[in-house]
């Protein structure tokens, strides 16, 4: 007799199935029956990229080849630069040989983008070569150590371990001699052989390169040590002496050259690249303005924002004293523990605002899967406000913070500042754009730029201002502070890299003309100058946003496109300089000899 487990139905002699299993079969049968209907209701076009490009596979091939060469030639050296020069020359010749006129519209855009990227990367090699020359008197042993790493990459053995030991011993002596020369220069005018001035910036560049050399030499030694007894017999002791010497030299350069000492607050040093490097980066970003014109543009935008602050201040009863109105707004924060609820409410409010006005397509899955985490006190030292994407990272004080830090974090993340940040970080900002760019035009990640990434999120701040998203003057102040902040970012980032402004002056700019807390201003400048950001990254927020807003005026406000079609097209066309977004959305293919010409700001024609 069959064993019965729970309720069941009998199918023939001795065959009994549980009702739960029968229910599963029924569901499965229903699902199978629904498949044809689903396919009919959801055409394949819903899941494909409508903006196809003839050049997609070419761009992907370049990206893959470039990435693998970067992994192989991972140490900066003359050989690495020679190989990459040859690579970019080869790709330039490939592009020149292509029939440009035969490409489709998106293919022509990708051709121009790829040519631009090849040219920029080749130019950057020459900048790197110049920096290497600058560091020669500080790291005269660099090329010899790089050759050890390269010999291992070439799968060469160490035929003469004694010669390798002699090389390491010689380099160790050279490190000590160089350290003495650097110490003498620091005690005098900081000028080294060849004219290199050992500024804190140059010292930090040398530290970074010396760390790279130490790690690559360690990799070379560990590869052979213990596997080749004769190698270990000759090389181990000289290697250990070398490693101790270069580690000590790195510490010396950090502490004495850069002024970074343990137990003290690290100075904000940064790495100003100079006007020529900025011009190179602006050409890569397809910006048809000089650095000086962009400073003028930023000053105009900051003055515009200041006038709007005064208007909001008068409406609140503070007259033209917008600093007093701002102080009032900073005090309008939720109680400890309540910020997560406020952020959730604000995120849903922004989503509803978009939907009610039919501004952009927000897929249900994008609404469903964003998450929230809190920034630690340590993270808030360099990121005093929110960070975003699929995970929004919220800044708010913790119980373990010092009292002054708690108060500053509360004030910096008040309700009205936060309301302007949430939609920037989530929907329609960074989370929505990340959702789309992982599904459409993915090959264009090679052309990623802050003018598109940060510019898109900032553009929505501009558009929502125009659409009266603010509920009152307090919200207006919250929105204007961020807008002024981005104008100030253009000013201090460009001026810093042109060596017209120091980090300390940048902090004062944020305190006096934007109204940030001093601690938040210091964290902002530290993140801008000592983080992993390109020279134009901070300028890209407002400049990219202004570009998209001007494009919106050309196409949406003129009645040529709806808001939804305009915004969906930008999201699906992928990451790239905004002038190429303009080409994509207007359908006007760029010429083969394209150079940036678009003057997108009406006040700086």
588's tokens: 């006007």
Residue with tokens 């959801």: 42
Do 240 and 172 touch, CB atoms closer than 8 A? no
Q: Could you give the CA distance from residue 386 to residue 478 in angstroms, rounded to a whole number? A: 14
DSSP class of residue 193 equals: G
**Phi and psi torsions of 74, nearest 5°:** -90, -10
| DSSP 3-state percent helix, strand, coil across the chain (nearest 5) | 65, 5, 30
316's tokens: 């609140």
489's tokens: 């970012």
526's tokens: 């530290």
User: CB neighbours (10 Å) of residue 535?
Assistant: 21
Q: What is the mean pLDDT of each run of 10 residues along the chain (605 residues)?
A: 39 42 43 46 63 93 98 95 98 98 98 98 94 95 96 93 98 97 92 88 94 97 96 98 98 94 82 90 97 98 98 97 95 89 93 97 96 84 78 85 84 88 94 96 97 98 97 96 96 95 94 88 84 86 98 98 98 98 97 96 90
pTM value is 0.87
Do 430 and 457 touch, CB atoms closer than 8 A? yes
Residue length of the chain: 605
Residue with tokens 């007894």: 229
pLDDT on residue 18: 46
Chain centroid to CA 147: 32
pLDDT on residue 38: 46
Do 448 and 284 touch, CB atoms closer than 8 A? no
Exposed, middle or buried by CB within 10 Å (0-12, 13-18, 19+), for 447? buried
Q: Could you give the CA distance from residue 122 to residue 91 in angstroms, rounded to a whole number? A: 11
According to DSSP H, which parts of 45-104 are helical?
56-72, 78-97
Helix (H) or strand (E) holding 522: helix 518-530
Q: Could you give the CA distance from residue 238 to residue 231 in angstroms, rounded to a whole number? A: 11
145's tokens: 């150590």
Strand bridging mode 8-10 / 391-394: unpaired
Do 425 and 388 touch, CB atoms closer than 8 A? yes
**Phi and psi torsions of 8, nearest 5°:** -155, 170
Listed in sequence order, the residues at least 6 apart from 144 whose beta carbon sits closer than 8 Å to its beta carbon are 167, 171
Listed in sequence order, the residues at least 6 apart from 482 whose beta carbon sits closer than 8 Å to its beta carbon are 417, 420, 421, 424, 461
According to DSSP H, which parts of 357-412 are helical?
364-369, 377-380, 403-412
Q: Could you give the CA distance from residue 15 to residue 13 in angstroms, rounded to a whole number? A: 6
User: CB neighbours (10 Å) of residue 70?
Assistant: 11
Do 164 and 231 touch, CB atoms closer than 8 A? yes
Furthest CA-CA distance within the chain:
102
């Amino acid at each position: 007799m069959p064993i019965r487990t729970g309720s069941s139905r009998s199918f023939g002699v001795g065959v009994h199935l549980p009702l739960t299993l029968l229910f599963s079969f029924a569901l499965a049968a229903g699902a199978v029956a629904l498949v044809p209907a689903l396919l009919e209701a959801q055409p394949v076009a819903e899941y494909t990229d409508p903006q196809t490009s003839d050049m997609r596979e070419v761009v992907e091939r370049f990206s893959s080849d470039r990435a693998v060469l970067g992994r192989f030639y991972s140490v900066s050296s003359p050989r690495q630069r020679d190989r990459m020069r040859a690579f970019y020359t080869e790709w330039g010749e490939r592009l020149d040989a292509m029939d440009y006129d035969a490409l489709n519209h998106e293919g022509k855009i990708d051709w121009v983008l790829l040519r631009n990227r090849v040219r920029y990367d080749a130019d950057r090699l020459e900048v790197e070569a110049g920096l290497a020359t600058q560091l020669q008197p500080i790291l005269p042993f660099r090329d010899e150590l790089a050759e050890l790493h390269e010999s291992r990459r070439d799968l060469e053995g160490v035929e003469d371990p004694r010669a390798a030991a002699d090389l390491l011993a010689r380099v160790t002596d050279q490190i000590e001699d160089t350290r003495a020369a650097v110490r003498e220069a620091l005690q005098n005018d900081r000028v080294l052989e060849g004219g290199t001035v050992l500024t804190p910036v140059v010292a930090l560049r040398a530290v970074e390169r010396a760390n790279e050399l130490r790690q690559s030499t360690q990799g070379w030694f560990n590869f052979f040590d213990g596997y080749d007894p004769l190698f270990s017999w000759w090389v181990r002791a000289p290697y250990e002496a070398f490693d101790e010497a270069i580690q000590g030299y790195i510490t010396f350069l950090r502490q004495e050259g850069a002024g970074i000492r343990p137990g003290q607050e690290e100075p904000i040093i940064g790495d100003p690249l100079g006007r020529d490097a900025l011009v190179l980066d602006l050409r890569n970003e397809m910006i048809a303005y000089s650095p000086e014109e962009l400073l003028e543009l930023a000053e105009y935008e900051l003055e515009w924002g200041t006038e709007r602050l005064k208007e909001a201040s008068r409406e609140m009863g503070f007259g033209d004293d917008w600093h007093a109105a701002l102080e009032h707004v900073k005090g309008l924060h939720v109680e400890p523990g309540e910020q997560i609820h406020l952020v959730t409410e604000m995120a849903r409010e922004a989503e509803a605002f978009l939907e009610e006005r039919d501004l952009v397509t927000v897929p249900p899955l994008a609404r469903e899967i964003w998450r929230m985490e809190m920034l630690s006190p340590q993270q808030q030292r360099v990121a005093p406000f929110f960070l975003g994407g699929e995970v929004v990272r919220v800044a708010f004080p913790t119980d373990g913070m010092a009292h002054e830090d708690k108060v500053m974090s509360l004030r910096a993340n008040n309700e009205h500042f936060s309301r302007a940040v949430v939609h920037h970080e989530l929907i329609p900002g960074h989370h929505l754009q990340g959702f789309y760019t992982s599904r459409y035009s993915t090959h264009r990640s090679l052309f990623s730029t802050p003018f598109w990434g940060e510019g898109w999120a900032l553009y929505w701040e501009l558009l929502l201002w125009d659409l009266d998203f603010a509920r009152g003057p307090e919200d207006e102040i919250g929105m204007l502070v961020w807008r002024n902040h981005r104008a100030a970012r253009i000013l201090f980032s460009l001026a810093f890299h042109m060596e017209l402004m120091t980090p300390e002056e940048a902090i004062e700019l944020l305190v006096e003309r934007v109204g940030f807390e001093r601690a938040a201003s210091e964290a902002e400048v530290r993140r801008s100058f000592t983080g992993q950001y390109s020279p134009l990254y901070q300028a890209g927020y407002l400049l990219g946003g202004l570009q998209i807003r001007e494009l919106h005026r050309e196409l949406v406000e003129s009645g040529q496109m709806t808001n939804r079609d305009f915004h969906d097209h930008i999201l699906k066309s992928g990451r790239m300089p905004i002038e190429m977004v303009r080409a994509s959305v207007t359908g006007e293919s760029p010429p083969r000899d394209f150079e940036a010409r678009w003057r997108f700001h009406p006040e700086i024609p």
